[in-house]
Amino acid sequence: MSNDTDAVARVRLHKDGPEISGVVWGSMRMQSQFATSTELAGHLDLLRGRGVTTLDTASVYGHPDPFSLEEALGEALAKAGRNKFEIVTKCGIQRISRLRPENRVRHFDFSAREIRRSTERSLTKLGIDVIDLMLLHRPDYLMDPDETAGALDDLVSEGKIRHVGVSNLSVSRVELVASRLKAPVVTNQIEFSPLHLSPVSDGTLDHAIREGYRPMIWSPVGGGRLFKGEDEQTVGLRTLLAGIAADYGLPSAAEAAIAFIARHPAGGVPIVGSGKRDRIEGAIKAANTVLDRQDWYDIVARTNPSLFL
């Protein structure tokens, strides 16, 4: 029932690029997962050895201090080899942090000034000359689309950003941004998992197919909720996924969840947040596994029976 292989496919997010690894590693939790930059560099070596060469990060990431993560990632990249990875980062989320004393409240900012400032900071902190893919992180309801698109296009023409995408944007907002940008929108990075099914029915995945970009998928195992949840629905879903995993020779429910994402024709690229070798290897296997239609719908029915009404 499976066609597994241990190699990660290379995928194009959009006809005009970029090409990335078919499993992406998400760095958001790395400050809890790795105590030193040497440990993290070892993990980056492992990822590269397995073909997972695309790293996802964001200017706001950091624990315990928001905005502290990119610098720590940059230190590890210096050891592991900066030019061996494609870097995806994001701008626009503002949180209260000792590193941003000007922020009084949480907010979102897609102004030209903030996009440029965030880009310059990410380049410096990560120690790179160009960002492979810059995403607008979460909707800024005060966005002036001409200003936002103009700032991104300028950074592309200056060679600081290679490609532009969005994250967590509704279809109408993706279209609004795309209508003012010269650069193509090459992805919408969204949450999608057996625990979060709305993209299958709210038009988000349909839009990706129609416009010819692949979405990037965050929290494919619900950020670990799939394993921690003790409510009846999560326990039932976990049991179902574990059974499906066993049928396909996958190690656990986590890999069945990733195969669930991969089965959708939008070709979503999973961003895996685990810091564990086995789970990265499992994710690669899962991304190459084609679930049977009825198994896929069995998962949908467990999470959202109303889709069948």
Binding status of residue 271 toward ligand NAP by CB under 6 A: yes
In the complex, what is the shortest distance from the CB of residue 309 to ligand NAP, in angstroms, rounded to a whole number?
Answer: 28
Backbone angles phi, psi at 95, to 5 degrees: -125, 165
Binding status of residue 106 toward ligand NAP by CB under 6 A: no
Q: Of 184 and 222, which has the nearer Cβ to ligand NAP?
A: 222
Q: b/e map of 147-167 (b: 16 or more CB within 10 Å)?
A: ebbbbbbbbbeeebbbbbbbb
Q: Which residue has the tokens 């789970």?
A: 279
C-alpha 239, offset from chain centre: 26
In the complex, what is the shortest distance from the CB of residue 217 to ligand NAP, in angstroms, rounded to a whole number?
Answer: 8
Cβ-closest position to ligand NAP:
273
Binding status of residue 276 toward ligand NAP by CB under 6 A: yes
Q: Of 28 and 41, which has the nearer Cβ to ligand NAP?
A: 28
61 has catalytic annotation: yes
- Name, in order, each residue with C-beta under 8 angstroms of 228's C-beta and a sequence gap of 6 or more: none
In one-letter notation, the amino acid at residue 45 is D
C-alpha 142, offset from chain centre: 24
Return the residue of 218, 245, 264, 299 that touches ligand NAP, per CB under 6 A: 218
Binding status of residue 70 toward ligand NAP by CB under 6 A: no
Q: Write the binding mask 28 to 57 for ligand NAP: x where contact by CB under 6 A, - elsewhere.
A: xx---x----------------------x-
Q: Catalogue the long-range contacts made by 79-85 (C-beta closer than 8 Å, 24 or more residues apart).
A: 79/37, 79/38, 79/41, 79/44, 80/41, 80/44, 80/45, 80/48, 81/48, 82/126, 82/127, 82/128, 84/48, 84/53, 85/44, 85/48, 85/53, 85/54, 85/55
Do 151 and 160 touch, CB atoms closer than 8 A? no
Q: Of 118 and 252, which has the nearer Cβ to ligand NAP?
A: 252
From 61, 141, 248, 297, active-site residue: 61
In the complex, what is the shortest distance from the CB of residue 125 to ligand NAP, in angstroms, rounded to a whole number?
Answer: 16
Binding status of residue 132 toward ligand NAP by CB under 6 A: no
In the complex, what is the shortest distance from the CB of residue 225 to ligand NAP, in angstroms, rounded to a whole number?
Answer: 8
In one-letter notation, the amino acid at residue 16 is D
Only segment of 3-11, 153-161, 174-182, 218-226 that touches ligand NAP (CB under 6 A): 218-226
Binding status of residue 272 toward ligand NAP by CB under 6 A: yes
Binding status of residue 288 toward ligand NAP by CB under 6 A: no
What SS3 state is found at 193? Answer: strand
C-alpha 16, offset from chain centre: 19
Return the residue of 99, 200, 275, 304 that touches ligand NAP, per CB under 6 A: 275
Binding status of residue 139 toward ligand NAP by CB under 6 A: no
Q: What is the 8-class DSSP label of residue 24?
A: E
Q: Of 32 and 305, which has the nearer Cβ to ligand NAP?
A: 32
Cβ neighbourhood burial of 266 (10 Å; 0-12, 13-18, 19+): buried
Residues that bind ligand NAP (CB under 6 A): 26-29, 33, 56, 167-168, 189, 218-224, 227, 252, 254, 271-276, 279
Residues classed as catalytic: 61
